[in-house]
Amino acid sequence: MKILAAFLSNALFSLVVGLGAAAFLGPEQFGRFALGLAGAGFVQILAFDWLRLSATRFYSQVAREQRPHVRAALDAGFVWIALALACACAGAIALFAPADLLLLACAALGMALLNGWFDYSAALARARFLDGVYVRLILVKNAASLLFVVGAAYAAGSAAAALAGACGALALSIALAWRPLRDGPVQASALARGQVRACASECARYSAPIVLASALYLAVPLMDRMWVAERWGYAQSGYFSLAFDIGWRILAAFGAALDVLLFQIAVRTDEKGGASAARGQVARNCVILFAALAPAAVGLWLIAPSLQSVFAPVEFHGPFLDYFTLLLPGFFCLAMASFGVQARFQIDRKTTPLLAAALVAFALNGLVLAATDPVSVAMVQSLAFACALATLLLWRAKSGPMGASQFLRASASTLLMLLALLPLRAMDPGATVLLAQVALGAAIYGACIIALDVAGVRASLLHAIQSFRERR
């Protein structure tokens, strides 16, 4: 529950920080800020995401005690890649960055390095089930981001200053969690060079396709933002970026919050019960994720007008709603692919299909180059992510069914919620309508999944009630 609460707070703070930055920077500077953030994320994924993936798959409390070469390989990998990346990017920025983007590029480089370290630290805490350390990492980063990023945007009105504030928030969070995440000293004989190299090689084989797939997925919105900025200006890119950031962060928060728990359970099941038991756990995990993501995506479409009215800065009204509604299907497909279906291939350590699906998305997204208006760019992006999910599902279908009846029950519950809330969407948008939609939607969907026993929720609820009674 601590981890779920941390993820929910992360989603909330990310939204507040993004909206605050947009309000104080304005569409043009926010467009630059979003491009810098996306560029930093792209570099981080390519350079450091293998550390996060390898830590959650191969590092644990048992590995810490019995296989210290695992942590040694990961730490050494971070140091060498960080040094190489800093030198290469610094040279590229000095030679090629336009003068008006020089400070932004430098801040984006710092963001890539620090965010890579932050994600690695968070993965180490997750792998050892250090819930307190993990929560502290997230909460400190969130609180500091609110102060530093929004404060810098307000004080300087500059995209580069806002990115520098984000770097400061990450650095503070990492510094406060460094000590409990250290491994104790080990015998030199336990860190034989051959073992470290073999571990690094195994991590690379496992994570390389996932990293490349993630980079391609991230390249899709990055390419789209750059194309919109080039064709229609930074202000239009700012409208596009705010809609993308809010919608994706909300759905990704649901997916990542569940994935951070469910995937580690699948890994533990694999260690204790073998591959067959782990595959069964992954199939159950997919049902749970679908049951959370489907109503979340439909609910976001239902509340989109009120969401714009209440939260989006006035300068973004109109284009925000257009982009947001068109991007939502793509967000759902990307979240299901990234947090649900992908786990089966990770458990089996056969991750090449993930790269194939990402290549499909990246290739199809190339159609944006022929788009006649920025709204068409959003439509192409959603289509690209939908085709990526379809590719993974077709590949996954070769290994057996995924329990279609449970997905049908969750779909029926979502449809009932949609039909019940449609009249509210036609009302004048505002805070009252937004609160009514959220409360009524949660009540209707909750009643439906309990009645239909989606993903065993009825048994879980009865067990929780019984446990509460026993404690009293």
Whether the pLDDT of residue 203 is over 90: the answer is: no
Once rounded to an integer, what is the mean pLDDT over residues 381-410? Answer: 83
Whether the pLDDT of residue 463 is over 50: the answer is: yes
Instruction: Let me know if 409 is exposed, middle or buried by CB neighbors in 10 A (0-12, 13-18, 19+).
Output: buried
pLDDT tens readout for residues 415-429: 999 999 999 998 999
Return d(Cα 302, Cα 434) in angstroms, integer.
9
pLDDT tens readout for residues 27-83: 889 989 988 988 898 899 888 888 888 888 788 777 677 777 778 888 888 888 899
Return d(Cα 328, Cα 251) in angstroms, integer.
9
Whole-structure pTM value: 0.79
pLDDT tens readout for residues 435-460: 999 999 999 999 999 998 887 777 77
Q: In which band, very low, low, confident or very high, does the pLDDT at 300 lie, cut at 50, 70 and 90?
A: very high
Whether the pLDDT of residue 297 is over 60: the answer is: yes
Q: In which band, very low, low, confident or very high, does the pLDDT at 193 lie, cut at 50, 70 and 90?
A: low
By the 8 A CB rule, do 441 and 400 touch? no
Once rounded to an integer, what is the mean pLDDT over residues 199-215? Answer: 83
By the 8 A CB rule, do 247 and 321 touch? no
Percentage of the residues of the chain whose pLDDT score is greater than 90: 37
Q: Which two tokens stand for residue 223?
A: 């390419």
Whether the pLDDT of residue 139 is over 80: the answer is: yes
Q: In which band, very low, low, confident or very high, does the pLDDT at 388 lie, cut at 50, 70 and 90?
A: very high
Residue boundaries of the structural domains of the chain: 1-183
Which of 36, 33, 17 is closest to 25 using CA atoms?
33
Q: 98-106: which pairs have CB atoms within 8 A and are 24 or more residues apart?
A: 101/32, 103/158, 103/160, 104/32, 104/36, 104/159, 104/160, 104/163, 105/36, 106/160
Whether the pLDDT of residue 399 is over 60: the answer is: no
Q: Write down the pLDDT at residue 187.
A: 44
DSSP label of 399? T
Return d(Cα 437, Cα 62) in angstroms, integer.
47
Angle between helices 193-232 and 352-365 (to 10 degrees): 10
Residues 123, 128, 131, 136, CA torsion sign: negative
Which of 281, 279, 324 is closest to 300 using CA atoms?
324
Q: Write down the pLDDT at residue 93.
A: 77
Which of 224, 269, 170, 185 is closest to 374 using CA atoms?
224
Q: Write down the pLDDT at residue 403.
A: 65
Return d(Cα 157, Cα 449) in angstroms, integer.
47
Q: Which two tokens stand for residue 153?
A: 């945007």
